[in-house]
Amino acid sequence: MSREKQYKREELLDTAIGIFRRNGYHATSTAELTEELNINKKTMYAEFGSKLDLFEATLEHYNQTFLSLILAPIEKKNAGLEDIVSVFNSISEYGSRELYGLGCLLCNTSAERGSLDPCLGPAIDQYFQRIHSGFEQSLLNYKNSTKTKKLFDHKNTAAFLTTALIGLATSVRAKAPKEQLQATCTFVEDYLASVGNWTH
């Protein structure tokens, strides 16, 4: 008769998010993981397979939980320009408080990409694509719902916004001045107001 697990997988992954977000993949040792997860090596290997497998599972869990929460405004069916601004403001607000100096786990991972196992590449690519798709659809929704004669390239604008958001998250990790974080959001809001001809 097998013994009942004394832990919940989701709780382990929640904790692992914090560890990897703080240290990155390479600087996180197996000993540190087992200590902070409060499990032994045998249990970690039995549950996840390896440190790399645990990291992959952590990225997927992060993608489904925190990232889904942050990107929810631009992933809803009727997302528009104001929802894009909301995403930037969320990153700035979280980044100015509990995530200051930590940043986004997937963004941090993308910066480590060159020294990581190639198997992690698809997760990073999907991260960029998910953000870009959300912005592009929000911009397209606006174009399709308004009678404004002002034209703009929603694909290039989505690419710009994706790069700006990644830059904002990187700035959070680097502990950039909090005023700089907010200034970025203000610029994006002003830019979208001029593109969409709406008042904020």
The domains of the chain are located at 9-58, 65-196
pTM exceeds 0.95:
no
The candidate with the shortest Cα–Cα distance to 83, out of 198, 179, 2, is 198
Identify the H or E element spanning 192: helix 178-196
Three-state DSSP state, 99? coil
The 3-class secondary structure across 110-170, one letter per residue, is HHCHHHCCHHHHHHHHHHHHHHHHHHHHHHHHHHHHCCCCCCCCHHHHHHHHHHHHHHHHH
Decide: 164 and 84 in contact? Cβ < 8 Å: no
pLDDT of 15: 97
- Cα torsion 93, 60, 120, 135 to 10°: value is -50
Cα 163 to Cα 169: distance, rounded to the nearest angstrom: 10
Full pLDDT tens readout for the chain, 200 residues: 445 576 799 999 999 999 999 999 999 999 999 999 999 999 999 999 999 999 999 999 999 999 999 999 999 999 999 999 999 999 999 999 999 999 999 999 999 998 999 999 999 999 999 999 999 999 999 988 876 556 678 999 999 999 999 999 999 999 999 999 999 999 999 999 988 665 55
**CATH number for the domain formed by residue range(s) 9-58:** 1.10.10.60
